[in-house]
Amino acid sequence: MAPRPAQVPLAAHALFRSNDLDEARERVAQVFCPHRLETTGSRTLFNACHHHLRGNRLSLNYIEYGARTLIAPGELDQFYLVQIPLEGGAEIRNGNDSYLSTPDQAAVLNPHLPTRMVWEEGTRQVLVQIDRRAMQDHLAAELGAPSDRPLTFLGPLDLTSGPGAALRRLVLWLVAEADAGAPPIGPGLMARQIEGTVLSGLLESARHDHAGLVARAKSAPRPRHLRAAESYIEAHLDRALTIEEVAAAAGISSRGLQLAFREYRGTTPLAFWRDARLARAHDDLRKGAQGTTVTGVALKWGFSHFGRFSEAYRERYGLTPRDTLRAAGGGREDQAGGVR
C-alpha cells in the first residue's frame, strides 16, 4: 500500500508527482542529469514522485517509482549520489561494481563511472546528492593536500552497523528535521558544519580507494599551533590577514608558522587563506541567490584584484566565476568589464 502523503519524506519540498514517464524523466533530470528512464515490469501504473531540498554542498531527495524501472544516466559527471532505500531495492551497476542495494545497504554512485540501475516495483529511496568538487575538496582537507585522482567509492555501503548505521541515522534525522519545518541544510555556518559531517561520515563509513591515505593523515599529529592558526584564518576570511598576525594569534613565530604549514599541509599560510576564501566564493556563486554578482562575491571575500581572482578561481574549479553563476541559474550578470 502506498504511504499516506503525511508519511512521505520531504513532503513540503515536492517537485512533482506524475504517472507520465516523459514528465518524470524531464523533471528528475533538472535536478540530477539527463538519463534513460523506462518501465520494465508488467505493472502499468508508474506513479513517480520527487521531493528535493537543496543545500550548499549537497541536497536531500526522496524519489519513488511505482513500477519496476530502468534508469541509465551514464556518467553522473558533477555529483556523487548516495541512495538509501526505505522500501524495495535496486540492481546497481557503477563502473565494474555490480550489487543489489536494499534497506540494509546503500548504493554510492561515482560521478566518473557509468551508471545503470533497475529499481524494483514500489521502491522508495532517500538520496543524498553531493557536489563532486565539494567532495574532492573535503577529501583534500582530510588528507592535508589535494589528491591527484578522483575519489572512487567501492561497492555497497553497509547500513546495519558501525559508521554506516550512524550515517543512515544522520541522513534520516536531517530529513525528519526538514519535515518538522526546520530544514538543517542551507545558509549559515551550522548548516555548513552539518554538511561537512555528512561528507566525513561518508568517507568513514564507505569503502573507497583513498581509505589508506585518510587513515594515515588522521593518525599523523597536527601541532597545536597549526590548529590554532587554521582556526584563526577560518574565523577571519572576510578581511586581509598577514602572516605576522596569524602567527601571533597561534603563539608561534612567523618562520615556525610557515614551516608547520609546509610540513603538515604542503602549502603556505597565505595560500591556505586564499584557498579557503575561494571555497567560500565558490559556494556563494553556486547558490546563485537573486542579485548575486561575481564582482560582489569577489569583494565580499577580499579579492580586490578581479583578474587574479578569476585566474585563481579557474585554476581551482576548472571554469570561470561567471560560468559558475550562470550555471546556478540565479544572480545577475556584472556590467561590461566586470569579472569574467
pLDDT tens string 34-47: 999 999 877 667 89
What is the SS3 string spanning 173-199?
HHHHHHHCCCCCCCCCHHHHHHHHHHH
CATH 1.10.10.60 intervals, the chain: 224-328
Beta strand 48-54 with 36-39: parallel, antiparallel or unpaired?
unpaired
Tens digit of each residue's pLDDT (9 = 90 or more) over 193-207? 899 999 999 999 999
Tens digit of each residue's pLDDT (9 = 90 or more) over 237-256? 888 888 889 999 988 888 88
What is the structure's pLDDT at 339? 47
Tens digit of each residue's pLDDT (9 = 90 or more) over 144-182? 778 889 999 999 999 999 999 999 999 999 999 999 999
What is the structure's pLDDT at 49? 96
**Mean pLDDT confidence for 135-152:** 87
pLDDT at position 65 over 70: yes
What is the structure's pLDDT at 220? 61
pLDDT at position 232 over 60: yes
CA distances from 317 to 78, 118, 131 (A): 12, 33, 12
CA 186 from centre of chain: 12
Beta strand 157-158 with 105-109: parallel, antiparallel or unpaired?
antiparallel
Distance (Å, rounded) from C-alpha 57 to C-alpha 283? 8
Answer yes or no: CATH 1.10.150.120 is held by domain 224-328: no
Strand partners, 87: 124
CATH architecture of 5-214: Sandwich (2.60)
Distance (Å, rounded) from C-alpha 130 to C-alpha 135? 7
Distance (Å, rounded) from C-alpha 97 to C-alpha 119? 16
CATH 2.60.120.10 intervals, the chain: 5-214
pLDDT at position 3 over 60: no
pLDDT at position 1 over 70: no
Share of the chain above pLDDT 70, in %: 93
Distance (Å, rounded) from C-alpha 65 to C-alpha 16? 12
SS3 call for 310: helix
